[in-house]
Amino acid sequence: LSELEALMERMKRLQEDKEDEEASQEEMATRFENEKKESLLVITGGICAFCILFSFDDEIVSMDVSRYIEDPGFGYKDFARRGEDHLPTFRAQDYTWENHGFSLVNRLYSDIGHLLDEKFRMVYNLTYNTMATHEDVDTTMLRRALFNYVHCMYGIRYDDYDYGEVNQLLERSLKVYIKTVTCYPERTTKRMYDSYWRQFKHSEKVHVNLLLMEARMQAELLYALRAITRHLT
């Protein structure tokens, strides 16, 4: 099977498995922990852990972005140290964008919540119902896997989501690309972009980038707004 056909087959199989039997809460929690721990290993020492596998390292360049920021040392850091047994988890049902963050940010800055919510929804729901040359395809499962994997990298867990879908739908090279774009965008190379979903249209791959950026923004907002809520109460 081609990469595209294999992905569509996995989506079909996952949908059938979901209809036949849903995973238990304990199984879903275990799968989340596995994905969360693996995400810490995707990039190590400033170089992709799996880059050598895909020969990305020869194209990684050191870009001088210091002139664009006030603090050159400011950047992404993993939310936990590798090797720790108990990694912190942000349980989404305890503080969600829809039920908590949206209303608070509107109180702090009038109407900004509506604008942000519209932006999140538009990017998340954007679809041509296509996958490369295939039409009339429901890509909801794939879009949710991309969005939730970014939140997983930030330690955010949705209790009603089976993270086994992430492991089935997002191959290693795509996970490398996701973490690089989301956490270290200056290290992204064209070769990394070309390495995943080779049969997909550029518009579909650009949509992936939009999903990653909006997921990251929402994750950052959730942490910040939860901290503000705790301070106010």
Residue type, 55: S
CA distance 112 to 105: 7
Give a yes or no: residue 148 inside a domain: yes
As for how many domains the chain has, the answer is 1
The burial of 223, by beta-carbon neighbours within 10 Å (0-12 exposed, 13-18 middle, 19 or more buried), is given as middle
Backbone dihedral angles phi then psi of residue 130, each to the nearest 5 degrees: -130, 155
pLDDT for res 64: 62
Segment 130-175, tens digit of pLDDT = 999 999 999 999 999 999 999 999 999 999 999 999 999 999 889 9
**198 within 8 A of 3, measured Cβ to Cβ:** yes
Give a yes or no: residue 71 inside a domain: no
Segment 12-39, tens digit of pLDDT = 999 998 878 888 889 999 999 899 888 8
Taking the chain, what is the end-to-end CA distance rounded to the nearest angstrom? Answer: 55
Give a yes or no: residue 65 inside a domain: no
Give a yes or no: residue 39 inside a domain: yes
Segment 35-67, tens digit of pLDDT = 988 888 776 334 443 333 333 343 444 456 666
Give a yes or no: residue 70 inside a domain: no
Q: Percentage of the chain surpassing pLDDT 70?
A: 85
Least Cα distance to 133 among 232, 76, 179, 199 occurs for: 199
Domain that holds residue 115: 3-57+78-232
